[in-house]
């Protein structure tokens, strides 16, 4: 049911391993300028309301195409280009979480500098003429350590997270007011003329609400009342919260909200999609994962065809989990298959195909926002959804084919259309197809000195690892000594005794009498594991040392404040006197972190605090490596490839690049992540300090290298029956019109920056196979394909190749007339020598 409101209200590694103020009266001219400034500010104020159709901003209904970009996951130097590319991709809104543990790492001490400069980030979005959705938390999940909640919160007496608990609500309210008061002070809300049009409190609370019973419902009502009581002049949402209390808008998260979302819980609320997952985040041990752009486009078109007016791509730019910020087991690279990759570069075909989708939906805007919806179902596999304004020419249609194997013919308003398998064609005038979700026209390819740790301990029990480390390090030591009688060894039968350590996660390294026994770890799905190994014991005192290793704090679920990890039981099995339990019967030493961390040797100031040794070739575990390198002359994005290494941490010039884990292989026998992003802002032209802490022994740091990230291989793959690009069309006087007289299907290739097409690496008009970087000839191919593409493209920054038989079959002979032709092209971009 639709209800309109009347209220419009990127060198190999050589290893040694102001604001000025003044006093005085303002001149009359200054006063006039000040008056003008105030007047302009008032004029910019925007009222944001909503009804059953859409958000209404300053009296105008809007279709909102939003993308999640998280400011701590990139650098301030990267933000302008990322935001600019997002806008060029057709977005008009940026969504971000606010990260409580980033801003208040210590209770009462706030940080809003560098990558934490939220105000600067929002003002850059505003400068680009875009809106902002602010997802406040307090809990955000986001595959971020502790779900964004600061560690110190765990140690507040009597606290239970995310429920009707006074200590939690007290600290949450203080945090919320700090953030929102800051936004208000900076005039960033739409009601003040700023870009923030929408807020979100809490996050996917329905996933844990049952665990808290009535206290969960009370908490949700309290959170809603808190933000609405501040009267900030914007609507608020709760995602995946179907019982969101009025006037809170309930919103959808997922891959196919057009089918899974039950809709707003009141007729006067719009259908909003707060998270459309553009890929699957990855954890160490995962194989590569992708979500096709065809599926994303299909889901968005379907949502808008069913009264949706807002979609947010989570993530549009995933970025990097710098330092130790990722949640447990989550990789340092985040959502790299998003439309903008980890380096902020366009990821094709996802970026381009979604850009064209936004263009097509904009052509339908008037009909979607003001027309009356109608539905026809010609068959079990097909569906027509269209919007018309009676008495006008305003009309837009979405023709859907749900058949996943074959095309379907759909007859609509006297004309027949062929719709490819599992796709939606968009007709912004109910006559002309300008876009199909399955017809993807773009593609591209991006193509030591060491010191050893000393083991110390000064406590007595193997304490829980989260509480031991307090999110200040990934490492916690557990040491103990135990005596073995001669009778335990001489009288036993069979093999050696066995050391058994049961751990709740995440990883563990073990030494016995100074000998490294090995390591073990859990996984994202199963954190707990058992380390078990036959050992050689000696008569008398034996010394056991364990290094518990975190890969981040948990980021989801109920009762997070009561999650525990680390060793939970230690025993010796196979002794003649029976099992020896070391867990509670022994005194334990505990130590937080590595000595190198305490001395700060990851940064220039700490290097001189230790004596460095030359690399011997077979280093033990827990070794620090350092070297210097010069930055590449290219300004392209840079990354370090951790070939030959095991598991540890990386710093460049004191900046934490992140965790790496090369020894945790996916089912395909490969590391989940090999390249680790080094932002340009981390680098100096010369003598950059690289420091690596490696947990595992016998690694090969000489295999580490650096790579430049570019997008110099550009491809296109288009079928001759595809719809010409939506860029050929515009809307004028309520009619869809061609921008040019000659609307034809073309394969468009474009190099980045000042680069030009320097080589055609593959071209085939026929039935080629494969994907960009892996194209192969099929059984049908026009012999002149490469020559034609070279004619149109060589030496040019961009080119458009007509995709039709007359272009490629110049002798008018078709060796395979029954084959529907496709054009696959792969070119190489480069700079002229003078450039």
Catalytic residue numbers read 204, 275
Whole-angstrom CA distances from 737 to 415, 428, 743 are 18, 10, 11
Q: Which of 221, 212, 195 is nearest to 124 (CA)?
A: 195
Quick count: other Cβ atoms within 10 Å of Cβ 268?
A: 15
Q: What is the DSSP string of 686-697?
A: S-EEEEEEE-SS
Can you tell me which residue has the tokens 């400011």?
Answer: 71
Can you tell me which residue has the tokens 């991006």?
Answer: 446
Beta strands in 733-811 (DSSP E): 735-738, 746-750, 756-766, 798-802
Spatial CB neighbours of 38, under 8 Å, sequence gap ≥ 6: none
- What DSSP state is assigned to residue 325? -
Can you tell me which residue has the tokens 């000595």?
Answer: 595
Q: Which of 465, 475, 448, 464 is nearest to 598 (CA)?
A: 475
Q: Is 16 left (phi over 0), alpha (psi -120 to 50) or beta?
A: alpha
Q: Which of 366, 259, 357 is nearest to 306 (CA)?
A: 259
CA 487/CA 481 separation, integer angstroms = 18
3-state secondary structure of 135: strand
Q: Which two tokens stand for residue 184?
A: 């208000």
Secondary structure tally for the chain: helices H, strands E: 15, 44
Q: Do 660 and 693 meet the contact criterion of CB atoms below 8 Å apart?
A: no
Q: Do 350 and 276 meet the contact criterion of CB atoms below 8 Å apart?
A: no
Q: Dihedral sign for Cα 255, 259, 261, 263, please.
A: positive
Q: What is the DSSP string of 691-751?
A: EEEE-SSS--GGG-EEEEE---EEEEEEETTSPPPGGGEEEETTEEEESSS----EEEEE-
Quick count: other Cβ atoms within 10 Å of Cβ 411?
A: 13
CA 603/CA 592 separation, integer angstroms = 20
């Amino acid at each position: 049911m639709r209800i309109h409101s009347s209220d419009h209200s990127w060198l190999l590694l050589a290893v040694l391993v102001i604001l000025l103020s003044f006093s005085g009266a303002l001149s009359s001219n200054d006063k006039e300028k000040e008056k003008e400034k105030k007047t302009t500010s008032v004029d910019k104020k925007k009222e944001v309301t909503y009804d059953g159709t859409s958000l209404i901003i300053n009296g105008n209904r809007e279709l909102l195409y939003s993308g999640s970009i998280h400011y701590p996951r990139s650098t301030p130097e990267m933000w302008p280009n990322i935001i600019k590319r997002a806008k060029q991709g057709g977005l008009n809104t940026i969504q971000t979480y606010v990260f409580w543990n980033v801003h208040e790492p210590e209770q009462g001490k706030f940080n809003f500098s560098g990558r934490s400069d939220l105000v600067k980030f929002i003002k850059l979005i505003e400068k680009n003429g875009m809106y902002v959705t602010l997802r406040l938390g307090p809990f955000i999940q986001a595959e971020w350590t502790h779900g964004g909640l600061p560690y110190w919160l765990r140690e507040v007496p009597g606290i239970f997270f995310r429920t009707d608990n006074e200590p939690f609500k007290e600290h949450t309210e203080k945090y919320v007011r700090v953030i929102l008061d800051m936004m208000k002070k900076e005039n960033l809300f739409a009601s003040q003329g700023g870009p923030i049009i929408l807020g979100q409190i809490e996050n996917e609370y329905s996933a844990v609400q049952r665990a808290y019973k009535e206290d969960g419902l009370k908490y949700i009502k309290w959170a809603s009342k808190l933000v609405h009581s501040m009267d900030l002049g914007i609507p608020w949402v709760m995602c995946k919260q179907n019982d969101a209390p009025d006037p809170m808008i309930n919103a959808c998260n997922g891959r196919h909200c057009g089918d899974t979302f039950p809709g707003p819980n009141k007729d006067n609320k719009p259908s909003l999609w707060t998270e459309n997952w553009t890929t699957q985040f990855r954890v160490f041990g995962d194989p590569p994962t992708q979500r096709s752009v065809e599926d994303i486009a299909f889901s968005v078109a379907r949502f808008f065809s069913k009264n949706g007016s807002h979609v947010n791509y989570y993530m549009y730019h995933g970025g990097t989990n710098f330092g130790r910020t990722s949640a447990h087991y989550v990789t340092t690279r985040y959502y790299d298959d998003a439309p903008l990759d980890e380096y902020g570069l366009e990821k094709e075909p996802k970026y381009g195909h979604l850009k064209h989708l936004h263009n097509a939906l904009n052509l339908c805007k008037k009909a979607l926002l003001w027309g009356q919806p109608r539905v026809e179902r010609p068959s079990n596999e097909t569906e027509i959804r269209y919007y018309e304004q009676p008495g006008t020419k305003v009309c837009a249609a979405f023709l859907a084919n749900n058949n996943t194997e074959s095309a379907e013919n759909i007859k609509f308003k006297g004309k027949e259309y062929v719709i490819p398998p599992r796709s939606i064609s968009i007709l912004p005038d109910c006559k002309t197809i300008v876009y199909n979700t399955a017809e993807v026209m773009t593609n591209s390819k991006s193509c030591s000195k060491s010191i050893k740790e000393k083991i110390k301990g000064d406590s007595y029990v193997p304490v829980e690892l989260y509480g031991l480390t307090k999110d200040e390090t990934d490492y916690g030591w557990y040491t103990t000594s135990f005596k073995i009688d001669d009778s335990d060894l001489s009288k036993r039968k069979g093999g050696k005794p066995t050391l058994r350590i049961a751990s709740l996660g995440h990883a563990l390294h073990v030494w016995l009498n100074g000998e490294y026994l090995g390591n073990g770890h859990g996984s994202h799905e199963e954190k707990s594991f058992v380390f078990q190994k036959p050992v050689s014991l000696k008569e008398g005192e034996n010394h056991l040392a364990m290094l518990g290793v975190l890969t981040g704090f948990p980021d989801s679920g109920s009762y997070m404040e009561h999650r525990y990890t680390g060793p939970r039981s230690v025993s010796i099995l196979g002794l003649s006197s029976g099992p020896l339990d070391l867990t509670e019967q022994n005194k334990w030493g505990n130590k937080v972190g590595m000595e190198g961390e305490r001395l700060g040797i990851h940064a220039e100031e700490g290097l001189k605090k230790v004596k460095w040794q030359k690399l011997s070739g077979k280093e033990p575990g827990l070794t620090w490596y350092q070297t210097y390198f010069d930055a590449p002359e290219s300004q392209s994005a840079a990354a370090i490839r951790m070939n030959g290494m095991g598991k540890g941490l990386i710093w460049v010039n004191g900046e934490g690049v992140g965790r790496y884990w090369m020894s945790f292989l996916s089912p395909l026998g490969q590391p989940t992540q090999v390249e680790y992003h080094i932002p340009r802002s981390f680098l100096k032209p010369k003598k950059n300090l690289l420091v690596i802490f490696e947990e595992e022994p016998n690694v090969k740091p000489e295999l580490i290298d650096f790579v430049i990230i570019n997008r110099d291989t550009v491809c296109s793959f288009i079928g001759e029956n595809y719809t010409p690009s939506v860029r050929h069309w515009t809307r004028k006087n309520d009619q869809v019109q061609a921008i040019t007289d000659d609307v034809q299907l073309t394969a468009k290739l474009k190099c980045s920056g000042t680069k030009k097409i320097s080589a055609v690496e593959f071209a085939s008009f026929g039935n080629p196979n494969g994907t960009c970087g892996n194209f192969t000839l099929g059984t049908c191919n026009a012999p002149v394909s490469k020559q034609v593409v070279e004619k149109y493209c060589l030496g040019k920054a961009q080119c458009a190749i007509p995709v039709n038989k007359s272009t490629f079959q110049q002798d008018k002979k078709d060796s395979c007339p029954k084959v529907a032709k496709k054009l696959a092209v792969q070119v190489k971009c480069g700079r002229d020598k003078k450039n």
